[in-house]
Structure 1
């Protein structure tokens, strides 16, 4: 049996460890849990986004910066200076996405951007320059930012006319370096008429960070301009996404096993996803007039980029010729699919400003008259129309004609909204990272001490 001295030493060590953790600047509270576990609550300042990111948020962002710095440095997907696909891999297998599919992805993105008629574009998170190489010749000026040195250095070395590249994160859009770059490219006092954030939001820690970005972007863009948020992961489709992956990995698993695995995969998912309605709620508190359109990805290949992602275009301030939502008819699509679709759909769109919604997406449903976003794009070739997501149900599509009526489609009935508003990765990151930091803190400040099991207090998370 342990003697009193041993018990006294253990109690002293426990108190010392508790005091060391309690004194850490990232910890607000500590309490004992079952089986010797220490339950900790992070300080709100450690997970804050505004006015500046707290240390745990900075660590989350630094993690992604390190990932992309390494990915771009290795250059495993670098086909050419203007087609560096490093990092573009499928979630299920890790295999590179095909170059043909990615060219289609780039072309569709460029098409959406140019449809807004930008002249001075600020891209936050420009990566390897897939868009910069294709856009700069169509603009009066282009400024790109990225969090990686390797991407910024390569794009600067490319010497693209009327461009500038700056190392900066999305929340640093108002930094002096970015302002100076815009002054140099756009001209003194000129503001961008388009702010672009494409395939970046998955790296954001939470909706508060997205909110901060949107407020910076909306403050930067001039009246009549746009903020484009592209390649967004839809939070209401996470179960479908992970369900397909788990079923492909284990075709013989029971439905109950797949459901459990999907729930675990969603909980552990390290990327931000959100529904359009999350952005609508953010915009409701903004003083500027902003109209939103929700666009489907219309690439030919059936991949996660086509199935589970979408684009948002935010039209900022008064816009000449913009239709009032009350002037646009919203009609449920009840027409056929198959060979009859082109004629009937085109005919339905010629009767003035109209949005046809409730078109089943064949990539996500097995409805008999379902069509793919690519099918709709092909049908609408030569027409002034836009292929959209039905915001009431991400498994459905919509079509607006003329295309500038797309904002009228983004107003579903409140009781029609389905699925989670957002999946935020920061809580899972904090649950993993904060105990690591605290154990390292104990080892440094009390050499030879064996750190106990440290867990982020779920009760504090729930109350927060």
Structure 2
């Protein structure tokens, strides 16, 4: 008979697990396993990330250290596309498309007329190289030391780079970088974090980063959250991926695979409503606008991602700001050539300021009057207008004219439908905490066979 025991002492094993500082409680399960509830401090985002959340962040830092060190997509110092691959094929995204992606982000940033910019998660400098000549100062942070070292070595004028996570806007070394780039004590008038939220663990951490960015930006400035994966389109994304991988599969099989892939996705995605909820918890007035990605090529970066611009402080026009008219898109207009689309838009935008909403996105739905984001951008070229994502329905677009009235599209939109977010952190905790606890048992009770450990949220014994 083995001297290693499990079911003989379920209460003793649960007690040993409950003593671990990352566990709030542990109880024997009917099947002989143990149910554990994570300690709130272990999974907290504030005031400092808890140890399990830190592990999640460090995992992504290690990924990017490896990706940037390998440099498989490095075309030039200012065009390092390492890590930018299509989800369906794994092949690098086309260079021309990525240049378009960069240009559209640069356009969005410069439209806010920043002078001093703090970028959280600057990566290899795709934006830094293009923005710094247009700014009085640029400070960048990233979790990958190799990226920070390369950008520092480039000696770009009026810049400073430092290793820091996105939540560390108040850290002394980040303040030192801003002093170097902006001048002593100067605050950024724009905080940017672009294509980094997918690495965040959950909405609590997203909220902490948003609050940190808002706390450091000066009044009248902007916070730009760019290249966000939309949770309302997550299932669409994985359906497209699974169909591309197996074109002959029947629809039921593809739907099942897509649902499983979406549920197991290890990256954060969220709807604009998640950011709106975060704004409700901070003191300064903030106006939010939701922008479509308008690249020419039809890829996942165009279809399923979007940008948010937060304008901090009271409306520049004060209480006298003119009311913004909302007008539905006239789907009866036949949109064919670019000239016909421009004529339809000119008619719709009469009597500005106006937000024209409910424009079907031709990349995502087949409906009368459907238009691609790129076609809208081209048709609006030379006008003071912005191409927006309808904040209530990610399959719909909107246009605001003039561009500065874009927040009105979100302020007066109907309540959104669909999931507010897909959060990967609970999946990480369910996998990682049992691993840690089995190691703990082997140390404190080497003669005990570790049982099946299931993480729950403490309600009715169900999974977290």
TM above 0.5: yes
Question: More displaced, 231-240 or 405-414?
Answer: 405-414
Write the deviation string for residues 159-203 of structure 1: whole angstroms up to 9, x where unpaired: 101000010001111100011111122112211000000001111
Q: Per-residue deviation at 1:322?
A: 7.2
Q: Aligned residue for 1:136?
A: 132
Task: Identify unmatched segments of 5+ residues in structure 1.
Answer: none
Q: Distance in 2 between matches of 1:211 and 1:197?
A: 13
In 1, are the aligned partners of 2:114 and 2:189 still within 8 Å (CA)? yes
Q: Aligned residue for 2:269?
A: 273
Residue 258 of structure 1 pairs with residue 254 of structure 2: yes
Per the alignment, in what secondary structure is the counterpart of residue 109 of structure 1? helix
Q: Distance in 1 between matches of 2:463 and 2:238?
A: 29
Q: Aligned residue for 2:208?
A: 212
Q: Aligned residue for 2:336?
A: 338
In 2, are the aligned partners of 1:324 and 1:408 still within 8 Å (CA)? no
Number of equivalent positions: 459
Q: Distance in 1 between matches of 2:355 and 2:101?
A: 25
Write the deviation string for residues 225-267 of structure 1: whole angstroms up to 9, x where unpaired: 0000000011111111111112222233333333322222121
Q: Aligned residue for 2:435?
A: 436
In 1, are the aligned partners of 2:141 and 2:165 still within 8 Å (CA)? yes
Q: Distance in 1 between matches of 2:324 and 2:30?
A: 60
Instruction: Give the alignment's Cα RMSD to 1 decimal.
Output: 2.1
Q: Aligned residue for 1:145?
A: 141
In 2, are the aligned partners of 1:323 and 1:405 still within 8 Å (CA)? no
Per the alignment, in what secondary structure is the counterpart of residue 35 of structure 2? strand
Q: Aligned residue for 1:361?
A: 361
Q: Aligned residue for 1:293?
A: 289
Per the alignment, in what secondary structure is the counterpart of residue 450 of structure 2? coil
Q: Per-residue deviation at 1:16?
A: 5.1
Q: Distance in 2 between matches of 1:436 and 1:108?
A: 43
Q: Distance in 2 between matches of 1:242 and 1:409?
A: 28
Distance 1:8 1:178, change over 3 A: closer
Residue 59 of structure 1 pairs with residue 55 of structure 2: yes
Question: More displaced, 35-44 or 126-135?
Answer: 35-44
Q: Per-residue deviation at 1:368?
A: 3.6
Distance 1:325 1:276, change over 3 A: farther
Distance 1:401 1:100, change over 3 A: same
Q: Distance in 2 between matches of 1:9 and 1:246?
A: 44
Write the deviation string for residues 403-459 of structure 1: whole angstroms up to 9, x where unpaired: 1111111124444x2111111111111001111111222233344643222111265
Distance 1:141 1:32, change over 3 A: same
Q: Aligned residue for 2:307?
A: 311
Residue 165 of structure 1 pairs with residue 161 of structure 2: yes
Normalised to the residue count of structure 2, the TM-score between the two structures is 0.94
- Pairs within 5 Å for 1:103-114: 103-114=99-110
Distance 1:323 1:359, change over 3 A: farther
Q: Distance in 2 between matches of 1:232 and 1:31?
A: 39
Write the deviation string for residues 21-40 of structure 1: whole angstroms up to 9, x where unpaired: 22211111112224322211
Q: Distance in 1 between matches of 2:236 and 2:348?
A: 31
Distance 1:221 1:10, change over 3 A: closer
Distance 1:217 1:327, change over 3 A: same
In 1, are the aligned partners of 2:4 and 2:448 still within 8 Å (CA)? no
Residue 372 of structure 1 pairs with residue 372 of structure 2: yes
Which protein has the bigger helix share? 1
Question: More displaced, 38-47 or 121-130?
Answer: 38-47
Q: Aligned residue for 1:395?
A: 395
Q: Per-residue deviation at 1:92?
A: 1.6
Q: Distance in 2 between matches of 1:186 and 1:448?
A: 60
Normalised to the residue count of structure 1, the TM-score between the two structures is 0.94
Distance 1:156 1:323, change over 3 A: farther
Write the deviation string for residues 290-311 of structure 1: whole angstroms up to 9, x where unpaired: 0111100000000000000000
Question: More displaced, 252-261 or 431-440?
Answer: 252-261
Q: Distance in 1 between matches of 2:220 and 2:329?
A: 31
Question: More displaced, 137-146 or 241-250?
Answer: 241-250
Q: Aligned residue for 2:152?
A: 156
Q: Aligned residue for 1:329?
A: 325
Task: Identify unmatched segments of 5+ residues in structure 2.
Answer: none
Q: Distance in 2 between matches of 1:12 and 1:463?
A: 24
Q: Aligned residue for 1:44?
A: 40
Q: Distance in 1 between matches of 2:177 and 2:413?
A: 43
